[in-house]
Each structure stands twice: as structure tokens, then as C-alpha cells.
Structure 1
Amino acid sequence: MISTSGVPRWAAIPLISSILLAGLPASAETDTSSTKPSGHLYLVSIGIGDPDNITVRAQKILAESDIVFGMESVRERHADLLQGKEIYEAGHGLFRQMPPRPSKDADGPSQDERAERRRRHEEQRAELEAQARKIIREAVEAGKQVAVIDYGDPTIYGPQTGYLSEFADLDPVVIPGVSSFNAANAALGRGITQGEHSRSVILTRTPGGPERENRLDTLEKLAESRSTLVFFTMRSKLPEVVERLKGSYPGDTPIAIVSHAGYAEREQVMVATLDTVLEQAGDAELPFEHLIYVGDFLK
């Protein structure tokens, strides 16, 4: 029995506590060395265009990652950085609603064929989502580092932003990179915020196709500000885009098309007006990788 005679009452409690703690086995004490390591999830931009547009920070994160998710075309660009890692398909637009892709050919697949394609696509999508949930959560729990890789700025019309919302509880970190917008600005070689009547720039999607009923950012409303408009093209057709633009802008409004931005050997810039652009572009179909600029900064 512990005697506290002769010890002031105010000192007895801490004295007893100290004696009791001293008698505890070492295993009962807090052991910080056994704390489970904390894993991390990153959404990593590898840049746009040529492979050397990747940032040093992105290279570092990929080198340190144990597991990598990415679309095949993205993975192929930096296969050397991904050697020896677990590699998985990231899908396109997982964990979010993606707008339907427009059909290129009016005489294309029948309604039944399109429905079957959608069904197979949804099945594959569900499988990829289930796989990603399992692998990512188990990996982070085990203290591993996971990277989801994407082109350009992943947060501007990027297909992989669904990972940020799906795994928000894991505090994912976005590693920024050179976007198609950055590369196209550089290709134009002029200040896009230095227009005659506006210092503002609006990033939006091309106006082709029917507008959603609940959209507030229609082309007509955006055009009222006379800000420079930069269109991410999303498989749109140039004649349709020009027709819609001429409903809000005069025919002498400058327009520029930057194709393959960020590729040193393939990059192309065409500057015209709404009245002349179709003639200058000719019948050749524009590549998937192109941005359209509209604004008086091009004068």
C-alpha cells in the first residue's frame, strides 16, 4: 500500500499517478514508432504537347509513386518514369457525368446500335470505378502513394476530376502542369488580356449543338461582355461554330485557331476573321487538339 502521510493533499494525486505510470509495462505506453504510415493520392498533370513540357515536381511525384492510374495514351508518353510501378487504366470521366459525344456521321450507327454501345460503355465504366475504389483506398490505407495522371490542366475540362470528388476524404493533391491554354497563348505570341476594349478572358466550350435549358452561360450572354473568348473545342465542327459566333459578333471580328499547342514540330496558328476563317481553313478537318480564340486582342 502506498503511504502518502506527510505529503500535502495537493501533491498526493500527481505522486500516485507518477508511481502508477512507472509501474506500467512498456507495451502500454504510447509507441509512436508503430504508427501506421500515411498514404497519399495525387492528380498529376504531365503537361501538354511534347513530353519535355512535364514539370520537375510532376516527375518527382511520379518517381515516388507506387501505383499509377492513367489512360493508355497518357501512360505511353512517360513510360520511362513508370517502369516498375503498378499501372492501371484510369478510364475517361469516371465518377462523374460526362456529356454525350456527338456523332460524326449522320448516317452512322442506328439507335439500337448506339444503345448497345452505351450499355457496354456503362458496364466497363462500372468495372473501372469498382477497381479504382478498391485499389486506391487499400493502397492509401497501407501507406502507399497513388498518382492519377492526366494531360494539361486537369481541372479545366479534364476527364479525371471525378477522382477528386470520389476520394475527397483522402485529401487528394493536384499537381499543376502546362495546359493547352498556356501552350496556345505562347504560340500566339501576344498578350491575350490586352484587347482594345477588354482586359478579361473567358474560357468556355464551343457553342456547337443545342444549349442546355438550365445553362446561364450561353454564347449570347458571354458575348455581351466583349471579353476575349477561348473555346475548348470538344469535337465541334468549325462551320457550326462560326455560324453561332456570327450571330453575336460582326464578321470582321478576329479569330485564331491554334492546333497541336505545345508540340514544337506540329504546332500551327491560323489568324483570320469570322468572314474569312472558313475559306482559310478549307475543307480539311481540324485536329482534335485545337483551341479557338475570339477577340480584338488579335488585331
Structure 2
Amino acid sequence: MKKISLILGLILGLGINASIAQINNAKTVTVAVNGNCGMCKKTIETNGSEGKIAKVTWDTKQKQAEITFDTTKTSEEAVLKKIAQAGYDNVQFRAPDDVYANLHECCRYDRNHEVKGGPHAQMNHNNMPKAAAQHEDAGQAKGLAPVFQNYLTLKDALVSSDQKKAAIAAEKLGQSILKVDMKALADNEHKQWMKVKGSMEKASTAISKDGKLEGQRNTFMALSNHMYELAKTSKSSEGLYWQYCPMANNNKGAHWLSNEEAIKNPYYGSKMMSCGEVKEKI
């Protein structure tokens, strides 16, 4: 029996190691995650793991999860949020009370502890006072506000055909992208952020280092498309206009976001300032 257990343990260990080896740009952290039993282990690992993006292994004795994840596609916070949404309090997030209540009786662990994120790490608003819920919504809206503001500053610099100002604005945009607190983002907002974050970083860096206005404008096209994708899920984008110039990009057309309805073309500036139309108000 000991030999059989040893062999099974070895096979399981090799399987876990092989799964982790498939994860690129890997980072591994060990964090506290509440739970009680083998059923908890299965739920925590299943909900936290995601193909070649993240692998979670939970220790039933230590009440700790080892998380290995691709830093370009997800984050420690994102994985822990999924685990909390499945009903398990952890070092970053407290699970929704209704989800915890629906856990199997043997899985209802002792909740007498304080989550690192504090009261605003609670995953839903059901049991939250109205003022607290509004405060959390404000926090979510604020999460990406600096990114949108710096994007608009960059757009205005391109409208003015000022290459140096555009470079400075792009650099500030890149800095604001790096400073985003993903714990402050709503679920849909967070998912979209993880999809576009890398491309937006590259675009802002490229614009900040480009010494030619034409090159900056070309890169701004792709950046604007990513910003639009993000805007569709973010409260920080309310009041923006999705605008379009059919003559930009060698008559293939190009879009941009603006905080005013009047057309001020970032691809032509004063040469064709009013060329374009509003396609959508967000």
C-alpha cells in the first residue's frame, strides 16, 4: 500500500509540475486561503486555475495556496478574486456572504479573521450599507480614470500637432497604466483590462519614443481601438465620444475617443480639423 501511495503521489506531482511548466512568464506566490477539506481543495484549485495562464495548489493543512501565473495575462489579485467568488476568503478578498452560506456544511470554515483588503474587499454589495456601496462604486470608477485622462491629453497634443507634448503625454499615460490598482476594478472591467493592458503599454512607450508626429499618429490608431474596448466596460469612460475620420490611415479610416462632441481631428490637426463624425456616445 505504501508503494502504491508513493507511486500515485509521484504521478500527481509530475502532472502538477508539467502543468506549471507550460505557463510562460511565470511567477509563483504562496498566500493564505481559508478552507477545510478535500472538497474545498478541489473548488479552490478548479476556480483559481486557468489552462496555461494560472495554476493553483491548495494545502489543506497549512490553509495556503501556491499560485503560479503568467504575469502578462493575469495577476495574483485576479486569481484570488476568482477564489473568493467561489466562496473562499483569502489574504486579498472576502467571499460574498451568500456564496459562503451556500457552501457544503463541511466546507464552512471559521471566518473570524480580517481580510487584507478590509471592508471594501467584500465581493458584492448585498450586505453593504448604501453609503459604503456607493463609495466602492466610486473607487471602481476612479481606478482607470487617470488612464483615460492621460489618453485624452495625448489626443489633444496630436490635435495640436505637437510631437514633443505628445511624447510627454504618452509617457504619463504609460506611467498611469502601470499604477492601476486592479483590486479597484469591477469584474468585467478587470477582464478587459487584462486583455488590453500589454498592448496599451507598448503603444504608449512607442509614441513617447517616436520623434516623428506621423509615427505617433499611426500608433495612436491602435491605442485608440484598445481604449475603446476598455471604455465599453469602464465607468471611467462615461461622457466620451467615439469619433471617426474616413480619410485617416490612407483613406482606410481611423477612430479616436474624445471628451467633447465637436470634432477635433488628431490625425490631421489644423490641416483638416473638423474632418470626421461621432459614431457613438459612451
**TM-score, normalised relative to structure 2:** 0.26
Greater RCO (CA < 8 Å, at least 6 residues apart): 1
User: Where is the helix percentage greater, Structure 1 or Structure 2?
Assistant: 2
